[in-house]
Structure 1
Amino acid sequence: MRLPPLKSLPVFEAVARLKSFSQAAEELAITQSAVSHQIKQLETYLGERLFWRSGRSVTLTDEGRQYLDGISSALLQIERASEALLGHEESLLRLSVFSSFAVRWLVPRLPDLKRQHPQLDLSLEMSSANPVLSDRVADCFITVKPNSTAFSYELLYEERLFPVCSQDYWQKIRRELGLEEVTGDPASVSLTPAQVAEFPLLSTHSIYDRQGGDWEAWYREAGLALPASSRLLHSSHMLLSLEAARFHQGIALTNDYMLSTRQDSSDFVRLPCHSVMTGDSFFFAWKTSRRRERGIQLLRRWLVSEAIAGGLRPETLPE
């Protein structure tokens, strides 16, 4: 049986997944030169270049991508077979997460997490505000403030807001404005900010920490001021505004993760209008000193994979 240098395979997988020699070295608890040596050894054995390197940027070559596809499932099978034989202990983790992110995005995906990683026992700590990063609160976090130097962070989502309403309310808007859909798709018509202002605007206080701040930002993105005649209906939380929109009370501003997986997402219509970036970025955070804990890394990889699959973040982040 001819096998490649086996020690190099998990190193190759880590570099390919993290797109970084230094991050792979940190995760594997080896030096960056050891990572480079293992990759060079594997490339020499295969007779193919596996990565393109440009400064700090690392990308797979076509051959590297093909090789990763071929060995990933084999490595996973080896890992699972070894864990089963060793009787791998469960990892107990407390995750502090924003209530809206938990209810609308995370909880519907948890059955898949359990299928993939049955050894993970995840306990959710709901937070209405940005959580305090402390072991006393949780083992890991979803946060929008990556400001503690004691923690490491992985980007999940850069938030943007866009207007939505219920299916019935969209028909009301069309009737009152005399809009005709060419294809039955809301995107086939155009709705101006002035037309939006003719209907009740459901506002969420918590996004900008002031009443009407979300709609002010949305109009400002279009180079306009929020019309003085606007009828604002205030809620403290995006979940409440979205529920009000579901029950035909007006137009709400919401974000991608709120509508990404729930079966009721089809109850809503995304209006054919512009969106606005809030400036908030959602990160998975864990204490750097605990970076080698297997449960935390399994959860991190799963969250990133789901965020990419669901369109919350691109597969490759800009440098």
Structure 2
Amino acid sequence: MKLPPLKSLPVFETVARLNSFSLAADELAVSQSAVSHQIKQLETYLGEKLFWRSGRTLTLTDEGRQYLDGISSALLQIERASEQLLGHEESRLRLSVFSSFAVRWLVPRLPDLQRLHPQVELALEMSIESPVLSDRVADCFITIHKGSPAYSYELLYVERLFPVCSQDYWQKIRRELGREGPDADDLPMSVEEVSQFPLLSTHSIFEKAAGDWDAWYRAVDQRIPAAASIQHFSHMLLALEAARFHQGIVLTNDYMLSTRKDSEDFVRLPCHPVMTGDRFYFAWKTSRRGERGLQLLRRWLVDEAIRGGLRGE
């Protein structure tokens, strides 16, 4: 077996992660010249430049980035295997997750994860868009893309949107539409009736102005009325907060109303839903499928998604 200078590998990973020779030296408790020596030794062995140095700027070369992707997983597996033999059951995992999914669904459930699996130490990495699947970013991901063949995927949720408003605003709607009586909450509400009230729109779902409401109307072969009042927000978290404070009707999804406290603040209008086409997956590197921490987290996420109604049995 022909191996590179093994002492150089964790040095290379640290420099690449911190993007600095001096910070890497501090973390490894060695001199900066020792770090430089290890990197030079590795570059000599590989016959490739791993970093471009320009003044104080340090960047990975294409070859360095490719090499980092290859060895990061191997180093993590060595660390996990060693911990198991040493009797250390702690699993430190970085999970990259969409901010809205984290805030509204995952974080309220973390105490249950800690109670059931105290050996799993989870660090959340917030993402606005679907991140690049790489060990350099996180150990596992919640993503809407299945783009990398090196990863395995477990379905958590097929997204749908439906209109909601605050409890107080629903009473206003009932008064203005003359919806009286005990069965008023269950009477279907037409798209024409919905358009009489301010529509709170989230840009990030379809990446265009009023894209969410446009899709909702098109689902029943209608168009947004020209006279409709639309208030625009960049993110669903903002639009939902506006609805909480009685500013209109918002299109939201199941995980945004996944806790009892939040769901009791809102009323789901008796209207049709619309599918966005997004599917949420838990993703992990297939080569790391044997890691106990990843499998514990995967099973817990799936169980919670089923128990909470996001995913069917």
- After TM superposition, the score normalised by the length of structure 1 is 0.70
Is 1:203–2:198 an aligned residue pair?
no
1: CA distance between counterparts of 2:259 and 2:287? 34
Q: Which amino acid aligns with 1:165?
A: C
Q: Which amino acid aligns with 2:145?
A: K
Deviation, 1:181, is 4.0
Deviation, 1:241, is 0.4
Where in structure 2 are the equivalents of 1:83-94 lying within 5 Å?
A: 87-94=87-94
SS across alignment from 1:203: strand
Where in structure 2 are the equivalents of 1:8-87 lying within 5 Å?
A: 87=87
2: CA distance between counterparts of 1:180 and 1:302? 44
Is 1:269–2:267 an aligned residue pair?
yes
Is 1:127–2:127 an aligned residue pair?
yes
CA-atom RMSD in angstroms? 1.8
Is 1:142–2:142 an aligned residue pair?
yes
Deviation, 1:232, is 0.7
Deviations 1:195-245 (Å, cap 9, x if unpaired)?
000000000000000010000000001110111111110000000000000
Is 1:177–2:177 an aligned residue pair?
yes
SS across alignment from 2:264: helix
2: CA distance between counterparts of 1:227 and 1:143? 34
* Correspondence for 2:221: 223
SS across alignment from 2:270: coil
Where in structure 2 are the equivalents of 1:270-289 lying within 5 Å?
A: 270-289=268-287
User: After the TM superposition, which of the residue ranges 257-266 and 278-287 deviates more from structure 2?
Assistant: 257-266
2: CA distance between counterparts of 1:233 and 1:181? 31
* Correspondence for 2:301: 303
The structure-2 alpha-carbon separation of the partners of 1:216 and 1:181, relative to structure 1 and needing over 3 Å to count, comes to farther
Is 1:157–2:157 an aligned residue pair?
yes
2: CA distance between counterparts of 1:264 and 1:96? 24
2: CA distance between counterparts of 1:134 and 1:262? 35
- After TM superposition, the score normalised by the length of structure 2 is 0.72
2: CA distance between counterparts of 1:223 and 1:241? 25
Deviations 1:62-88 (Å, cap 9, x if unpaired)?
xxxxxxxxxxxxxxxxxxxxxxxx844
Deviation, 1:264, is 2.3
Unaligned runs of 5+ in 1: 1-85
SS across alignment from 1:147: coil
The structure-2 alpha-carbon separation of the partners of 1:157 and 1:181, relative to structure 1 and needing over 3 Å to count, comes to farther
User: After the TM superposition, which of the residue ranges 301-310 and 221-230 deviates more from structure 2?
Assistant: 221-230
Q: Which amino acid aligns with 2:225?
A: P
SS across alignment from 2:284: strand
2: CA distance between counterparts of 1:193 and 1:278? 18
SS across alignment from 2:93: strand
Is 1:241–2:225 an aligned residue pair?
no
1: CA distance between counterparts of 2:127 and 2:181? 41
How many residue pairs are counted as aligned between the two chains?
A: 231
Residue identity (%):
73
Q: Which amino acid aligns with 1:238?
A: M
Deviation, 1:189, is 1.9
Q: Are 1:182 and 1:189, in contact at CA under 8 Å, matched by a contact in 2?
A: no
2: CA distance between counterparts of 1:113 and 1:213? 36
2: CA distance between counterparts of 1:107 and 1:207? 21
1: CA distance between counterparts of 2:162 and 2:145? 22
Greater gyration radius: 2
SS across alignment from 2:112: helix
Unaligned runs of 5+ in 2: 1-85
Deviation, 1:89, is 2.1
SS across alignment from 1:94: strand
SS across alignment from 2:95: strand
2: CA distance between counterparts of 1:274 and 1:306? 26
Deviation, 1:262, is 4.9
